[in-house]
Amino acid sequence: MMSLPDVNALHARGRWPPPEGPRVAIVGSRRPSPYGEAVAEQLATDLARAGVMVVSGLALGIDAAAHRGALNGGGITVAVMGTGVDVVYPASNSRLAEEILAGGGALVSQFPDGTIPRRQNFPARNWTMAAISDVVVVVEAGEGSGALITAEAALHLHKEVMAVPGSVFSPLSVGTHGLLRDGAGLVQNARDILAVVGRGGEVLDDPLVPPERLGFALRPERDGIVAHLSDVLALSAADIARKLQLPVSEVLGRLTALELDGAVRRQEAGYVRALRRGKERA
């Protein structure tokens, strides 16, 4: 077990310690599927609206989605960093860090100012994240993911661990489904979490908006392709071309048009359906 730093003596930028109230950590893969990213963001928004402080690690992927979601919900969010609080890593999250501070949240770290990203510092950061939270929610974590360290720390610290289920086809579900099998709480919407932190009575108008209701103005001839795409598993242009019996050059072009509109996203292995508009990304 790690030796934990004194929570009140953490290095901080922004308001620290934060106001009293429940704190929920949302952690997960740095390279999530659109599904995982959408879930993390929506959960964070709903928790923030219910007055819950959202804790995460300011990494790419689920972490960034959680912070962003909390800010969208008008809430306070805290980033626990594995670097000095003056070193935002990755640098592409600098704007997000500023927004966290502007929203009344904080950047905290057990490492002194100027500490650069070092691999061995991140597990300790994950412990700290668990230590300052009441509940740890894991959204998409592959085997060996850092989010699983946070979950393990939470168990050791007698904090609640919860997980969001994913597709059984996705490698990103290996970690979360393992947690669920081992007794982690099932998260299907923010209410499940609020019940655990004793805010079960909070009213949420639209917990986890289903993706259909986010609606894209799709040109009719392009709908055909989107219907064949998954929001979890990437399909290549070749896969889709084969299904639709169309030349791959044409499918590639139509996918690019959808990508321009923000309706699909391209990953290394192929294309996935986007659940949010591409433009909303920070």
Partner 1 sequence: MLASVDSCVLVGLEARRVEVQANDGRGDVAFILVGMATTAVKEARERVRSAIRSSQLQFPGKRLTVNLAPADLRKEGSGLDLPIAVATVLAVMHKAPPPRSAFLGELALDGSICHVNGVLVAASWLRKQGYERLFVPAVDAAEAALVEGLEVIPCTNLASVIAHLTRIQSIEPQPLTHPVLDTGVEAAEHDLNEVHGQEEARRALEVAAAGGHHLLLSGPPGAGKTMLARCLPGILPPLELSEALEVAQVRSLLGDLSATKPLDWSRPFRAPHHGVSMAGLIGGGAGVAQPGEISRAHQGVLFLDELAEFQANVLQALRQPLEIGRVAITRSGGSVTYPARFTLVAATNPCPCGWSGDGRRACRCIPAMVDAYQRRLSGPLLDRIDLKVGVRRVPLEALASEPKGESSAPVRERVLAARRRQLDRQGCLNAQLKPSRLRQMAALDAASRQTLERWAEQRGLTARGFHRAWRVARTSADLDASEHIGERHVLEALGYRLNDVAA
Query: What is the β-pairing status of strands 23-28 and 53-56?
Result: parallel
Whether the link from the prior residue into 90 is cis, omega within 30° of 0, is yes
Angle at 40 (CA atoms; ends 167, 91), nearest 5 degrees: 115
Tokens representing 206 are 């639209």
**Nearest to partner 1 of 92, 188 (CB atom):** 92
**Nearest to partner 1 of 8, 245 (CB atom):** 245
In the complex, what is the shortest distance from the CB of residue 60 to partner 1, in angstroms, rounded to a whole number? 7
In the complex, what is the shortest distance from the CB of residue 275 to partner 1, in angstroms, rounded to a whole number? 15
The span from the CA of 280 to the CA of 262, in Å, is: 10
- φ and ψ of 255, to 5 deg: -65, -40
In the complex, what is the shortest distance from the CB of residue 132 to partner 1, in angstroms, rounded to a whole number? 23
**Residues forming the site for partner 1 (CB under 8 A):** 30-31, 59-60, 90, 117, 119, 142-144, 169, 171, 174, 233-234, 236-238, 241-242, 248-250, 252-257, 260, 266-270, 278, 281
CB 236 within 8 A of CB 199: no
**Nearest to partner 1 of 191, 265 (CB atom):** 265
The span from the CA of 122 to the CA of 145, in Å, is: 11
In the complex, what is the shortest distance from the CB of residue 144 to partner 1, in angstroms, rounded to a whole number? 7
**Nearest to partner 1 of 126, 193 (CB atom):** 126
User: Sign of the C-alpha dihedral, residues 74, 78, 81, 85?
Assistant: positive
Among 87, 90, 43, 84, residue whose Cα is nearest residue 65: 43
**Nearest to partner 1 of 182, 250 (CB atom):** 250
In the complex, what is the shortest distance from the CB of residue 8 to partner 1, in angstroms, rounded to a whole number? 30
